[in-house]
Amino acid sequence: MSNKSDLAAEKQGKRGVKLASIAIVIAIAFGGGLAFKLQQQAQDYEAKIAQLEAKIDSSNNIISSQMTQVKEETISQATTAAHKAEVVLGQQQKSIASLQLAVADVKGRRPNDWLLAEADYLVKLAGRKLFLEHDVVSATRLMESADQRIAALNDPSLVSLRQAMANDITKLRSVPLIDRDGLVLRLTSLQQTVDTLPLANAILPDAPEEVKKEVSQDLYDWQDNLKTSLKNFSENFITFRTRDGNVIPLLSPEQHFYLRENIKSKLETAIRSVYKEQGEVYQLSLSTAEQWSKSFFDNNDNAVKEFGKSLAALSQQNIQVNYPVKLETQSQLSDFINERLRREVTTIITEEK
């Protein structure tokens, strides 16, 4: 029994050794495979980490370039904004300086300064009336009003200015006055009478007076008597008369219309020339209308005679005037006001400091 037990125990021991060996082999194989697999995973992880690091480096480079570009754009925008701010600030400073001058001007104003300002305004208005509208009368009155303002100042330093104003007023008074409205009204009245003027009939020059030759009683004049008899006989059928001179024929109704309209047009041109001061055009238009009137209207009619006389009288009117080139007072008065204002502003600013 003991032997059997020992054999069984020995068998079990061998089986345990085998199982342990198998387990060790399995464990070694499993561990090697696991280690190999872990090594592969580690390599994969390292490759992925390298890729990620490359991507991160690339991203960092892109971000760095973008940040550099954004930084440059930001700096450029900031520079532009700063420049604009400087410009605006400079304009504001100029505006403030102008306001300070205006305030100082108002604070330093005295009644005499307002009279100077009124005189300056009147002189400038006189210049516009003279040079733009050729209104000499209004310009003269404005200059006289400005002279009254300067006289009210009673300032001895303004003697030269008043002398210049006196010279300008004298020049304005020496300019001849033309009644342009009166000329236009007279031309318009003549224009309205053109349709009522009678036209001339056909005018033929007078034929030379012919002396009728008698038949002679002398037999030796038989040839002349024969010619005279034949001539007297032929005159009972056809008569020929010779006329020397210019012949004015009758006009057709259509020509009547165009003649009157052309004369009206010439008068209209003369009217426009009055306001534009075109002397040559004015005289040429009236002389042409007068010539047509004498040629085609009935010169024995009183209305036609008066029409021609009026045209001749109006054509002698001078519609061109030589105006003064400039007013001496304008520049002198402006210079005096600017100099006086500069002195007053300087004094006020000095006192405030």
**pLDDT tens digit sequence for 201-225:** 644 444 455 555 555 565 555 566 6
Q: Does any domain span residue 79?
A: no
Per the listing, tokens 């006020």 go with: 348
Closest CA to 178 of 323, 321, 322: 321
| Both tokens assigned to 315 | 């054509």
Q: What share of the chain is helix, strand, coil (3-state, %, to 5)?
A: 80, 0, 20
Tell me the average pLDDT across 263-284: 91
Determine phi and psi for 293, rounding to 5 degrees. -65, -45
201, 279: one domain: yes
Q: Spell out a b/e string for 163-202, using b for 16 or more CB atoms within 10 Å of the CB, else e.
A: ebbeebbebbeebeebeeeebeebbeebbeebeebeebee
Q: Which of residues 99 and 152 earns the better pLDDT score?
A: 152
Residue 268 belongs to a domain? yes
**Can you say whether residue 329 is alpha, beta or left, with left for phi > 0 and alpha for psi between -120 and 50 degrees?**
alpha
Q: What is the DSSP string of 115-173?
A: HHHHHHHHHHHHHHHHHTT--HHHHHHHHHHHHHHHHHH--GGGHHHHHHHHHHHHHHH
CA-closest candidate to residue 202, choices 155, 263, 243, 154: 243
Q: How many CA atoms lie within 13 A of 274 on its CB side?
A: 22
pLDDT exceeds 90 at position 285: yes
Tokens of 232: 């007297």
Query: Between these two residues, 101 and 106, which has the higher pLDDT value?
Result: 101
Categorise residue 134: left if φ over 0, alpha if ψ from -120 to 50, beta otherwise.
Answer: left
What pLDDT is recorded for position 125? 92
CA distance readout (Å), 93 to 85, 108, 213, 341, 347: 12, 22, 117, 21, 21
For residues 291 and 272, membership in a common domain is answered with: yes
Q: Rounded to whole angstroms, how far apart are CA atoms 2 and 321? A: 169
Please report whether residue 47 resides in a domain: no
- pLDDT band, very low/low/confident/very high, at 142 (cuts 50, 70, 90): very high
- Could you tell me if 289 and 169 lie in one domain? no
Give the DSSP per-residue string, 215-271. PPS-GGGHHHHHHHHHHHHHHTT-------S--BPPPPHHHHHHHHHHHHHHHHHHH
Query: Does residue 352 have a pLDDT over 60?
Result: no
Do 259 and 348 belong to one domain? no
- Bigger pLDDT: 341 vs 119: 119
Q: Is residue 97 assigned to a domain?
A: no
61-70, 93-102, 226-235, 333-342: which is most confident: 333-342
| 6-33 pLDDT, tens digit each | 555 555 656 655 666 666 656 565 555 6
Judge if 160 and 185 occupy the same domain.
no
**Is residue 18 assigned to a domain?**
no
**Mean pLDDT in residue range 194-199:** 90
Q: Are residues 191 and 301 in the same domain?
A: yes
pLDDT digits (tens, 9 = 90+) for 287-341: 999 999 988 888 888 999 999 999 999 988 888 888 888 888 888 888 888 777 6
196 in any annotated domain = yes
- Say if residue 188 is in the same domain as residue 294: yes
Structure tokens at 164: 């210049």
Neighbours of 330 (CB within 10 A): 16
**What percentage of the chain carries pLDDT values higher than 70?**
64
Same domain, 289 and 189: yes
Indicate whether 332 and 279 sit together in one domain. no
- At what angle are helices 279-296 and 253-276 packed, to 10 degrees? 160
pLDDT in the model for residue 341: 65
Is the residue at 43 inside a domain? Answer: no
Give the domain extent around 166.
109-175+322-352
Single pTM value for the model: 0.48
| Residue 307 and residue 275 share a domain | yes
Judgement on whether residues 310 and 332 belong to the same structural domain of the protein? no
Task: List, for residues 32-72, the tens digit of each pLDDT value.
Answer: 566 667 677 777 777 777 787 777 777 767 766 777 777 77
Instruction: With respect to residue 222, please indicate whether it lies within any of the assigned structural domains.
Output: no
pLDDT at 253 over 70: no
Q: What is the pLDDT of residue 245?
A: 47
Say if residue 165 is in the same domain as residue 277.
no
d(CA 88, CA 352): 27
Tally of structural domains, the chain: 2
Q: How many angstroms separate the CA atoms of 180 and 274, rounded?
A: 6
